[in-house]
Structure 1
């Protein structure tokens, strides 16, 4: 992506019955998906959730990512828009939406009609890509703990080695990102640096934290990791699993996804349905 591009994010929001959410912008007299520009310093994941809420009044959680759009704007600059599929949390009623100068209509539109209603070809392409991904999935975020104090600077039990300041900042930035993927179950290695990585999310949301020795560097076993991963894949809730770099290959192998290199504080979002993996994406805080 060109760093000079205007960054934006949005979602293809769907619901049971085969409908997709579209918005009308009176300034351009066009129909499109809810989306908008990132605020300074904002992550594109949290921007997608915020923009849908601001433009439609609906609270959503994200599903699999879609191919980003890039197109020329009036004036010559390019816009880069990241999209996800999404589902509404709570009521999906838009009948009480108040029109304004930016968005004057919000409608649930049947899929086939939406392809005709959408103004731009790139939106129709995104709609077609989203259609086979419209069924609800759950997210399992496999997280590498944040940046920790160096081993050589720590003389105590390595299980107690904490995050450094940069790692603590990463942990704080993860809060809205995990929320965007509807994480309600928090699982962590019992080691301090992993627990500290997910603690800000636990403190903000109130979701309980489960600590596991079997996710630690010292005590991880293949059987223990496989058992937990299979249980989380079968669960009907979003989850985060925080562990260590040496344990990550075992976790990813247990989930049946390719091994990826994750930087400290980064994660792999595994979207799954009925025990099977639908899609994955790397999450950088």
Structure 2
């Protein structure tokens, strides 16, 4: 039997407190988490589950080691991230239900005694090493587009395939999970179509940069933009093309194996603190390759 897949967040708020939930069915204390919906990406599920179980909205920080343990006759895999609250962190008005009957902010010094499982204590120990505030730069390759061979117009006007349009819509909760507020893209149609659903849903403007297009990208210009995005403290997405990605990687100081290139609609998430990378994730819509 395949693993049961779930996702959760170790969420912190100022004052060195961590968010825990109590499940009456098991009489245990743990982090908010839950099963993935069919076709749902773990990042989106993690944020959704925290909101559903606690009423608190979070954005994801650096990833944590994945938990895997037996449940009845199957194994369960839980993907975890650190997280920070977006907006109100008050849980005093939480209404108990059959699944979660208590939500509590617990001082991190007390949390190991409250948590019911050793695996959660280990996850908390990892999270405490990464709890300082970070921001994310999401490097995104555009979704699946029409082939150059079949396209008769200008290359920069080449559009997404129908599957690519679907991928663009599915990217919306992933980018939202990392709290993206700045959208920087090549002006080529296939890139604009990739990030437009998120821009329209979130209400943020598109910053179109010709220097990110295949026709105009230079090492110097791409490097300057990446340096700006890594240092400005905002959560941003940079959408570009496969031939430009190596320039982005070089500017960021990261390496991606040549035999495993970033796939269409694939993304790298760079978690940054004071302009330095503290963690890197790699995701694709059709499978989690973190």
Provide TM-score, normalisation by structure 2.
Answer: 0.95
- For residues 70 and 22 of structure 1, the distance between their equivalents in structure 2, rounded to whole angstroms, comes to 20
**Deviation of residue 216 (structure 1)?**
0.7
Residue in 1 that maps onto 2:193: 196
Is the CA contact (8 Å cut-off) linking 1:148 and 1:162 kept in structure 2?
yes
- For residues 272 and 192 of structure 2, the distance between their equivalents in structure 1, rounded to whole angstroms, comes to 25
- For residues 219 and 40 of structure 1, the distance between their equivalents in structure 2, rounded to whole angstroms, comes to 40
Determine if the alignment matches structure 1 residue 173 to structure 2 residue 173: no
Range with greater deviation from structure 2 (175-184 or 109-118)? 109-118
Aligned residue pair count: 282
Residue in 2 that maps onto 1:128: 125
Which segments of structure 1 move beyond 6 Å, counting only runs of 4 or more? none
1:70-92 per-residue CA deviation (whole Å, 9 max, x = no partner) reads 0001x221111010100111111
Q: Secondary structure at the match of 2:73?
A: coil
RMSD over equivalenced CA pairs, Å:
1.0
1:245-282 per-residue CA deviation (whole Å, 9 max, x = no partner) reads 11101101111122252100100011111111110101
Kindly report which structure 2 residues correspond to 1:1-285, keeping only aligned pairs within 5 A, or say none.
4-73=2-71, 75-260=72-257, 261-285=261-285
- For residues 236 and 243 of structure 1, the distance between their equivalents in structure 2, rounded to whole angstroms, comes to 21
Q: Which runs of 5+ in 1 are unaligned?
A: none
Q: Secondary structure at the match of 1:28?
A: coil
**Deviation of residue 236 (structure 1)?**
2.0
1:93-130 per-residue CA deviation (whole Å, 9 max, x = no partner) reads 11111111111111111112111111111111110110
- For residues 200 and 17 of structure 2, the distance between their equivalents in structure 1, rounded to whole angstroms, comes to 36
Q: Which runs of 5+ in 2 are unaligned?
A: 286-290
- For residues 131 and 256 of structure 1, the distance between their equivalents in structure 2, rounded to whole angstroms, comes to 26
Q: Secondary structure at the match of 1:254?
A: helix
